[in-house]
Amino acid sequence: MPEIGDSNSSMFVSKLVRKTTSSLHSEVNDDLDCPVLPGLPDDIAKYCLALVPRSYFPKMGGVSRRWRSFIKSKEFIIVRKLAGLVEEWLYVLTTDAEGDGTHWEVLDCLGNKLSILPQMPGPMKAGFGVVVLNGKLIVMAGYSMSDGVGSVSSDSYQYDSCLNSWSKIANMNMPRYDFACAEVNGVVYAVGGYGVDGDSLSCAEVYNPETNTWTLIESLRRPRWGCFACGFEGKLYVMGGRSSFTIGNSRFVDVYDPEEHSWCEMKNGCVMVTAHAVVGKRLFCMEWKNQRKLAIFNPEDNSWKVVGVPVIGSSSVGFRFGIIEDKLLLFSLEQEQGGFNTLLYDPNATPGSEWQNSKIKPSGLCLCCVTIKA
């Protein structure tokens, strides 16, 4: 057997999985207390499983409950990181070819289309929240229509990228849509939005994946909707959208400190944001009134700077953002014959070479894009 860390070990273990899956079904006791791989200490066995290419994970999850439990755990991702084998894949919610539905498709860092996710559970919704947590995609709440009747949901679902499967998780305390959400310190926050009767909300709650529970936390000082959230240095930042305390869109930034269990306020925010993404330790935004410039927020000194976006055939083009290898992807929202190229912005490139074209392009209009590392 190759030594752990040998360049051929990944291929070796991949073949091992293919050849022994059927026999392991019969020979390995399907019990969570059984060894990961008979004859090997569990730490070595787990390392061996972590060497397998990501595309094999769903099949590995069918071998035994022990394997499945390990593959869906945070420990599995940690071992993959220690082995230097984490792969970045883009998960893009895009329109179907006919334009009458949506689906999630998976792209690698070269733009190769790897797969299409199983259909999301529940009815089609708008105004839902999407967060990545521990290698899993969390989709929560939203607004749906059925026979002309609108409904606001508190449902939450989880897609396990390693097992290629959806599952139901705990419902939120408050049904809502057009709200802010983000992961901070291994938990998910949901803030503001609209409620069941269309009323604007100030309430906030947090999801703990270890206990599968949503817990209400201190509310905002005022209702806020159409906003977005991100995490910096262990704190939650909520900005953009509208507030009941302002005329028009709000520049106030609400900041939640999980250690103090309290909110504070900044006045240096942005308004009417159509796309946002956190790359490294910076927040990148595009505001509705200026689709040709990136607004970049530095939380260290609460400062903003503006970077022009190259014209790519139309001065009115809008974008959705994605992230790959610490670079910002800008997917065009205009579709013409031949389409527009995806733009790539590298904040760490030498001045004058930050902008490039990228071959990464979804099959339809990008509605939402997240990166999952596993």
What is the pLDDT tens value at each position of the chain, 374 positions in all? 444 444 454 454 455 555 444 444 444 445 667 888 888 999 999 999 999 999 899 999 999 899 999 999 999 999 999 999 999 999 999 987 666 789 999 999 999 999 999 998 988 899 999 999 999 999 999 999 888 889 999 999 999 999 999 999 999 999 999 999 999 999 999 999 999 989 999 999 999 999 999 999 999 999 999 999 999 999 999 999 888 766 557 788 999 999 999 999 988 888 889 999 999 999 999 988 888 899 999 999 989 999 999 876 555 678 999 999 999 999 988 765 555 789 999 999 999 899 999 999 999 899 999 999 99
C-alpha 165/C-alpha 293 separation (Å) is 38
Query: Residue 293: which of 269, 268, 317 has the closest Cα?
Result: 317
Sign for the pseudo-dihedral over CA of 88, 350, 345, 272: positive
Residues of the chain with CATH 2.120.10.80: 88-373
Residue 240 near residue 224 (C-beta atoms within 8 A) = no
Residue 250 near residue 269 (C-beta atoms within 8 A) = yes
Structure confidence at residue 90 (pLDDT): 97
Structure tokens at 258: 């999980």
Phi, psi of 204 (to 5 degrees): -140, 150
Structure confidence at residue 33 (pLDDT): 72
C-alpha 83/C-alpha 6 separation (Å) is 11
Cβ neighbourhood burial of 184 (10 Å; 0-12, 13-18, 19+): buried
Task: Please provide the distance, in angstroms rounded to a whole number, between the alpha carbons at the two ends of the chain.
Answer: 25
* Three-state SS at 219: coil
Instruction: Write down the pTM of the prediction.
Output: 0.89
Tell me the sheet residues that pair with 324. 327
Residue 324 near residue 90 (C-beta atoms within 8 A) = yes
Rg (CA), the chain: 22
C-alpha 291/C-alpha 330 separation (Å) is 11
CATH topology assigned to domain 88-373: Neuraminidase (2.120.10)
Structure confidence at residue 29 (pLDDT): 47
